[in-house]
Amino acid sequence: MGVRGAVRHPRGHRRVLERLPIEVQASDGYLVLPGAQHLLRYLNGTGRVTGIVTGALEEAARIKLARGDLNRFLPFGGFGSDSADRVELTRRGIERGAALIRRELPPEHVHVLGDTPRDMEAAAAVGAVPVGVSTGTYRADALLGAGARVVVPTLEAYPPLLP
């Protein structure tokens, strides 16, 4: 959609956000990855807190997640509206998770699932566990090279890795 670049410009982002719900609803390319709802439901059922880290503005991310009914599983996160630096917004997401549960959330207890090398690098930089998901553009070797401890082919393959 080209929204990512547009929303970074203060004057244009309001206009983009006003149009985004219409674009997301009309998009034939909108896809909730197989296993996403099941995984989020599973994590929620185990008492784990789940959040999102994305370079999108929070409002834009919430609009996109709403179509797939995923906001209910992701009450906090780190967003492009927090910082343009992926490491900083990952750190911010962990801080918000800790605030939500009202206790310390050691980064080494946080799994960051991502499909880009930047996701893996940011997770490693804050001390979280980088878990690559090779459902996007990047293959497993690129995710492992960027610091992923493990790479799964789909979100459906992730739950068995949890203690």
Please indicate whether residue 93 or residue 3 has the higher confidence score (pLDDT).
Answer: 93
pLDDT in tens, 117-155: 999 999 999 999 999 999 999 999 999 999 999 999 999
Residue 113's nearest CA partner among 128, 133, 92, 87 is 133
129, containing H or E segment: strand 129-133
- The C-alpha atoms of residue 47 and residue 32 are separated, in whole angstroms, by 23
CA nearest 141: which of 112, 111, 163, 120?
120
Give ∠ CA 120-97-18 in degrees, rounded to 5: 80
CA dist., res. 88 & res. 82, Å (int): 8
Percent of all residues in the chain with a pLDDT value above 90, rounded to a whole number: 82
